[in-house]
Protein backbone atom coordinates (compact mmCIF):
# COMPACT_ATOMS: atom_id res chain seq x y z
CA UNK A 1 0.00 0.00 0.00
CA UNK A 2 1.22 3.49 -0.85
CA UNK A 3 0.97 6.04 1.94
CA UNK A 4 -0.39 9.23 0.33
CA UNK A 5 1.22 11.60 2.83
CA UNK A 6 4.11 10.38 4.92
CA UNK A 7 4.96 13.96 5.88
CA UNK A 8 3.08 16.76 4.17
CA UNK A 9 1.51 20.20 4.30
CA UNK A 10 -2.23 19.90 3.70
CA UNK A 11 -4.24 22.88 2.47
CA UNK A 12 -7.44 23.71 4.36
CA UNK A 13 -9.90 25.35 1.96
CA UNK A 14 -13.49 24.70 3.00
CA UNK A 15 -16.25 25.78 0.62
CA UNK A 16 -18.60 26.39 3.56
CA UNK A 17 -19.17 25.55 7.20
CA UNK A 18 -19.45 21.87 8.15
CA UNK A 19 -17.17 18.85 8.51
CA UNK A 20 -14.36 18.31 6.00
CA UNK A 21 -11.99 15.33 5.95
CA UNK A 22 -8.53 16.78 5.42
CA UNK A 23 -6.48 13.56 5.45
CA UNK A 24 -7.74 9.99 5.04
CA UNK A 25 -7.05 7.37 7.65
CA UNK A 26 -4.74 4.46 6.80
CA UNK A 27 -5.08 1.11 8.61
CA UNK A 28 -2.52 0.68 11.39
CA UNK A 29 -1.11 4.22 10.89
CA UNK A 30 -1.65 7.25 13.12
CA UNK A 31 -1.79 10.83 11.89
CA UNK A 32 0.39 13.15 13.94
CA UNK A 33 -0.41 16.85 13.64
CA UNK A 34 2.83 18.82 13.79
CA UNK A 35 1.49 22.34 13.18
CA UNK A 36 -1.45 24.24 11.78
CA UNK A 37 -2.66 27.72 10.93
CA UNK A 38 -6.38 28.35 10.44
CA UNK A 39 -8.39 31.49 9.63
CA UNK A 40 -12.20 31.64 9.57
CA UNK A 41 -13.88 33.64 6.78
CA UNK A 42 -16.63 34.92 9.12
CA UNK A 43 -17.50 34.74 12.81
CA UNK A 44 -17.65 31.11 13.92
CA UNK A 45 -15.88 28.18 15.54
CA UNK A 46 -13.68 25.29 14.44
CA UNK A 47 -12.34 22.08 15.94
CA UNK A 48 -10.24 19.11 14.78
CA UNK A 49 -11.37 15.49 15.15
CA UNK A 50 -10.44 12.01 13.97
CA UNK A 51 -14.02 11.27 12.95
CA UNK A 52 -14.79 9.81 16.39
CA UNK A 53 -12.95 11.81 19.05
CA UNK A 54 -12.46 15.57 19.27
CA UNK A 55 -8.75 16.45 19.22
CA UNK A 56 -9.27 20.11 20.15
CA UNK A 57 -12.03 22.08 21.76
CA UNK A 58 -14.09 24.58 19.79
CA UNK A 59 -12.01 27.63 18.93
CA UNK A 60 -14.30 30.70 18.58
CA UNK A 61 -13.21 33.55 16.29
CA UNK A 62 -14.48 36.84 14.94
CA UNK A 63 -14.51 37.29 11.15
CA UNK A 64 -11.02 36.77 9.69
CA UNK A 65 -9.76 35.60 13.09
CA UNK A 66 -7.44 32.65 13.35
CA UNK A 67 -4.79 30.69 15.18
CA UNK A 68 -1.40 29.12 14.50
CA UNK A 69 0.16 26.40 16.64
CA UNK A 70 3.34 24.47 16.21
CA UNK A 71 4.75 21.25 17.60
CA UNK A 72 7.34 18.84 16.24
CA UNK A 73 7.78 15.23 15.19
CA UNK A 74 8.95 14.49 18.75
CA UNK A 75 6.10 16.46 20.36
CA UNK A 76 3.07 16.60 18.04
CA UNK A 77 0.11 18.82 18.91
CA UNK A 78 -2.20 15.79 18.82
CA UNK A 79 -2.46 12.32 17.30
CA UNK A 80 -5.40 10.72 15.49
CA UNK A 81 -5.98 7.09 16.37
CA UNK A 82 -4.69 4.44 13.96
CA UNK A 83 -6.83 4.15 10.85
CA UNK A 84 -8.84 7.31 11.55
CA UNK A 85 -8.90 10.44 9.36
CA UNK A 86 -8.07 14.02 10.30
CA UNK A 87 -11.15 16.24 9.95
CA UNK A 88 -12.05 19.84 10.68
CA UNK A 89 -15.54 20.93 11.75
CA UNK A 90 -16.67 24.54 11.50
CA UNK A 91 -19.85 26.30 12.54
CA UNK A 92 -20.83 29.66 11.06
CA UNK A 93 -17.87 30.04 8.71
CA UNK A 94 -15.50 28.26 6.36
CA UNK A 95 -11.89 27.57 7.40
CA UNK A 96 -8.76 28.25 5.38
CA UNK A 97 -5.10 27.58 6.11
CA UNK A 98 -2.63 24.70 6.36
CA UNK A 99 -1.92 21.71 8.56
CA UNK A 100 1.39 19.82 8.67
CA UNK A 101 1.00 16.09 9.34
CA UNK A 102 3.07 12.95 9.59
CA UNK A 103 1.84 9.37 9.24
CA UNK A 104 3.41 6.85 11.66
Report all structural domains of the chain as residue ranges with CATH numbers, in order of start: 7-103 (2.60.120)
Q: Is the pLDDT score of 80 beyond 70?
A: yes
Angstrom distances, CA of residue 63 to CA of 43, 54, 60, 66: 4, 23, 10, 9
Section 73-84 average pLDDT: 95
pLDDT digits (tens, 9 = 90+) for 15-40: 999 999 999 999 999 999 999 999 99
User: Residue 64: how many CA atoms within 13 Å on its side-chain side?
Assistant: 0
Q: Is the pLDDT score of 2 beyond 60?
A: no
Which residues does residue 33 pair with via DSSP β-bridges, in sequence order? Answer: 78, 101
- Rounded Cα distance between 99 and 83, Å, is 18
Tell me how crowded residue 60 is: count the other CB atoms within 10 A of its CB.
Answer: 13
Q: Is the pLDDT score of 1 beyond 70?
A: no
Coil, helix or strand at residue 37: strand
Contacts of 6 (CB under 8 A, 6+ apart): 102, 103
Amino acid sequence: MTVPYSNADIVIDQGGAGTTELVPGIPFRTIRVLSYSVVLAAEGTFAFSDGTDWKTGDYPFAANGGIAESGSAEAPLFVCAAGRPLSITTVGASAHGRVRIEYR
